[in-house]
A and B are shown apart, each in its own frame.
Chain A
Amino acid sequence: MQNLFKSFVQNFGIPRLIILGFFLLLCVMAIILDIDFSDLMSASLVRIGMNGILVLAILPSIVCGTGPNFGLSLGIICGLLGGLIAMELTLNGFTNFFAAIAFAIPFAVLVGYGYGLLLNKVKGSEMMFAIFVGWSIVSVMKIGWLLLPFNSPEMAWPIGRGVRVTIALLNREVSQLLNNFWAFNIGNVTIPTGLLLFFVLCCVLVWLFMRSKTGMAMYAAGDNPRFAEAAGIEVDKQRIIGTIVSTILGAIGILVYAQSFGFYQLYEGPFMMPFIAIAAILIGGASIKKASITNVIVGSFLFFGILVVSMPVANAFMADISSMAEITRQIIQNGIILYALMQAGKGDGA
């Protein structure tokens, strides 16, 4: 019994136990403070579903050996671009949603390929490089959003050129599309069935991909590039494939996020998004060298669960500091990334 407990602790990892404990503590406090718990549950489920695919997008980049994809903003921008094209064509509902994905994927493949080539030139310092690529592209696209020839009155500024900072999806019947699909209630808790199903579907597809010949090659290239070379695997190619898959998932992820949120957020929108996704997968037990689908799911659950619950709890304590929830999120998110980076060198070859 004791051994069983020990091996569970070892497998689950102490950091995760601490965070799970923190999560449970928050839940208990929420109950004590008389905050409506079913509301919190509903909100958590939506958060997990809408962010899950962005977290999943980090997985291939870690597995193929380029480290957590801090440049996920590239994929996010491809997704937004696809979304805007679908808007411009005045498509509605599911047609709009899936057309947006279809338009985004070619961009994501191209961008991912180019980005992969760049990453192969900076082996060993991919993370630092990726952070700045991510930030740069956000700035470049600030110009891009102004210059791209989108004319639909839904998106354009009333005066001058370019598209607006936030674009509402309500009129195109995309808002809450997946969330409401087959949604049902258990007690007062709403289950966003479509949203969760789509997340699970993506997880299954990635899982199948990882078990294919290419997936195994990518895995070997990430685990030990020198082994992979010796096994006749082209490591650089596998890294590019991983980057492309990550970018595509980023594009799909932001479209799922946006339909739940109800808006496309351009300009500064994608700036910090990769950090949230990376924090979530790391909290789920991934390291910067190793990750699995389980890490994605556990991480999404813990990270977004904590965010949703901590917000009202923190507000109840410090009602006069209005941005407490945002501050809590930043502390947790960046603290987790720091912790994970500190763990990076450890455990290798032990």
Chain B
Amino acid sequence: MAEEYLLQMEKICKSYFGTKVLTDVNLALKPGEIHAVVGENGAGKSTLMNILFGMPVIQSTGGCEGEILIEGNPVEIVSPLQAMDLGIGMVHQEFMLLPNYTITENIKLNREILNDNIISRIFGNNLKTLNYRAMNADARKALDSLDIGIEEFTKVAGLPVGYMQFAEIAREIDKSNIRMLVFDEPTAVLTESEASNLLDAMRKIAGRGIAILFITHRLDEVMEIADNITVLRDGRLVATKRKEDTDIFELAELMVGRKVEKLFDRTSQVKDEDIALKIDGLKVSMPGEVVKGLDLEVYRGEIFGIGGLAGQGKIGVANGVMGLYPCEGSVLINGQKLVLNNPRESMNRELAFLSEDRRGVGLLLDSAIEINIVVTSMQNKGRFLKKFGPLTQIDSPVVREHSLQLIKELDIRCTGPTQLVKRLSGGNQQKVCIARALTLNPEILFISEPTRGIDIGAKRLVLETLIRLNEELGMTIIMTSSELAELRSICDRIAIVSGGKVAGILKPDAPDLDFGLLMAGQIDRKGA
């Protein structure tokens, strides 16, 4: 019975530094089957594939538990090379191609077809001649089997991304021992027609008896081609379904579904629908998080959530409004137009921003806590300075007093205001960021991924702080987060961003199904 399966993964567990990311995950794959693995960001899809492919990151963090069987025989995969020997191929999300080589050369790299020549007979195999004719023929065959009309001798550099993806696939299927192909979110970077080409190619490959593991969060694609579907959530196996037994709605619910813990008991601050921030047709060219014409209205005094999957553009919104990435469109604050692409202007209009990249953008890691807290206000509002004519000096006593007060108020655990920020824990660093934003005394606070990289206890404190700011100071807070549960626990309204646009705005107590559908980009069915 067991031999029927090409691959079985049983009771796979994996933890990173004490945090469990995979718990008892099972997966089984037959030859010629297309098996989709779906789940939110952080559900454990990539970790599972890294285990299967023997990526070094798994070994270097203590390996994993569980058993992997190939055709019924237990194997231990400790390196990608070994995985390839076992006939496992991987099509990466970021292309692993050499841009200045031709498609043939990329396909045949390190597996070249060689001819003897005089020198190689004396000096050995490394000096054999490449047989380009045979190699081109092989490459042609691989490309033809995908129905791709592209010339095998074109260079990879300059090809459209769709073709690069095919070059990568061709490389994998050209390997003679290939039995299983893993596609890691292959359609994420493709246009619609390219994606449908790819799906056709996947069907053809499966028709040759090669099993396919297809990782994605686009549910419509899953329903189109998968035979079986495994849903992961928070590192656990939620369900394995046959396509015939399920539909897109059930999958969406399974993917998101979790009981929303009402962490906090708060009543909405929004009395009337007084618009504090109005965004029209915002386009932000932030690499990886492109916003493509987004409209949004945020009311005064609310906590507004922006959610969505990674790469869909939710992160780009705050970065665009704050002028950190080039953007166009119209942004009105209290009905007045905001000059875009100018961080200073944004801050002068009483906006403040806590970046998702806390260590990269949010902090001066090598500087004292007090410097981090005051420097932005000093530069933009001229506070904390003593003036001597045109000359200025930092007003140390005032800086010290102000920092001590905030350290106490926000309960920043440190040895004193002169401690270097890099010596603080993630949670305390985040509080320093909040202290800096508070010093600006903003009307609207943008905060992105407020709890990323923070342990659970500190998470709660950070969220509590946000609620306090909102309730006590009446601050409008726009929170962007990948953690839907977090948004649903404190926000008044939540916009889900998909494909660079708002897919829909929901109340936090809306059903899981609605959130799931919006995140999976099913705007049409739902009607935003």
A residues at B contact (CB < 8 Å) = 208, 211-214, 216-217, 219-220, 223-224, 226-227, 229-233, 289-290, 349-350
Contact = CB atoms under 8 A, between A and B. Distances in A.
A227 B347 CA distance: 14
A350 B375 CA distance: 22
B365 A233 contact: no
B364 A224 contact: yes
B365 A216 contact: no
Given A220-B375, A224-B364, A290-B366, A213 B347 contact: no
Contacts of A223: 364-367
Contacts of B359: 349
Nearest to B346: A232
Given A230-B322, A232-B379, 16 more contacts: A208-B393, A211-B394, A213-B382, A213-B392, A213-B394, A219-B367, A220-B379, A224-B364, A226-B357, A230-B324, A230-B343, A230-B361, A231-B347, A231-B380, A289-B366, A290-B366
Contact of A230 (B355, B367, B378, B422): B355
A232 B363 contact: no
A204 B367 CA distance: 21
B360 interface: yes
A231 B355 contact: no
Nearest to B344: A232
Contacts of A233: 379
Contacts of B379: 213, 216-217, 220, 231-233
Contacts of B343: 229-232
Contacts of B322: 230
B329 interface: no
Nearest to B380: A232
B304 interface: no
B178 interface: no
Contacts of B392: 212-214
A232 B347 contact: yes
Interface in B351-396: 353, 355, 357, 359-367, 371, 375-376, 378-380, 382, 385, 391-394
A232 B382 contact: no
Nearest to B391: A212
B393 A350 contact: no
B378 A213 contact: yes
Given A211-B394, A213-B385, A350-B422, A231 B376 contact: yes
Nearest to B322: A230
A24 B359 CA distance: 41
A329 B329 CA distance: 61
20 contacts: A211-B393, A213-B382, A213-B392, A213-B394, A219-B367, A219-B371, A220-B379, A223-B367, A224-B363, A224-B364, A227-B361, A227-B363, A230-B324, A230-B355, A231-B343, A231-B347, A232-B376, A232-B380, A349-B422, A350-B422
Contacts of A226: 357, 360-361
Dominant secondary structure of chain A at its interface with chain B: helix
A216 B322 CA distance: 22
Contacts of A230: 322, 324, 343, 353, 355, 361-362
Most A CB within 10 A of own CB, among B355, B379, B385, B422: B379
In the A-B complex, list the 10 residue pairs whose CB atoms are closest, starting with the nearest: A232-B344, A231-B376, A213-B392, A232-B343, A223-B364, A226-B361, A212-B392, A211-B394, A232-B380, A224-B364
B56 to A, nearest CB: 21
B178 to A, nearest CB: 40
Contacts of B385: 213
Contacts of B365: 223-224, 349
B422 A227 contact: no
A9 B94 CA distance: 46
Contacts of B360: 224, 226
A346 to B, nearest CB: 13
A212 B394 contact: yes
Contacts of B366: 223, 289-290
A206 to B, nearest CB: 13
A220 B363 CA distance: 10
A259 B365 CA distance: 42
A216 B366 CA distance: 14
Contact of A220 (B344, B347, B364): B364
A113 to B, nearest CB: 20
Interface in B385-423: 385, 391-394, 422
Contacts of A208: 393
Interface string B421-457: 0100000000000000000000000000000000000
A326 B113 CA distance: 59
Contacts of A231: 343, 347, 375-376, 379-380
A216 B375 contact: yes
Contact of B324 (A212, A213, A224, A229): A229
A211 B343 CA distance: 23
Contacts of A289: 366
Contacts of A224: 360-361, 363-365
A220 B347 CA distance: 17
Nearest to B343: A232
A230 B391 CA distance: 24
Contacts of A290: 366
A208 B391 CA distance: 10
Contacts of A350: 422
Contacts of B382: 213
Contacts of B344: 232
B330 to A, nearest CB: 21
Given A232-B343, A232-B376, A350-B422, A212 B364 contact: no
A19 to B, nearest CB: 23
Contacts of B422: 349-350
A227 B362 contact: yes
A227 B344 CA distance: 13
Contacts of A349: 359, 365, 422
A347 to B, nearest CB: 9
A208 B364 CA distance: 21
A204 to B, nearest CB: 12
Nearest to B423: A350
A208 B360 CA distance: 29
Interface in B471-521: none
Contacts of B347: 231-232
A213 B347 CA distance: 17
Nearest to B345: A232
A227 B364 CA distance: 7
Most B CB within 10 A of own CB, among A217, A219, A227: A227
A223 B394 CA distance: 18
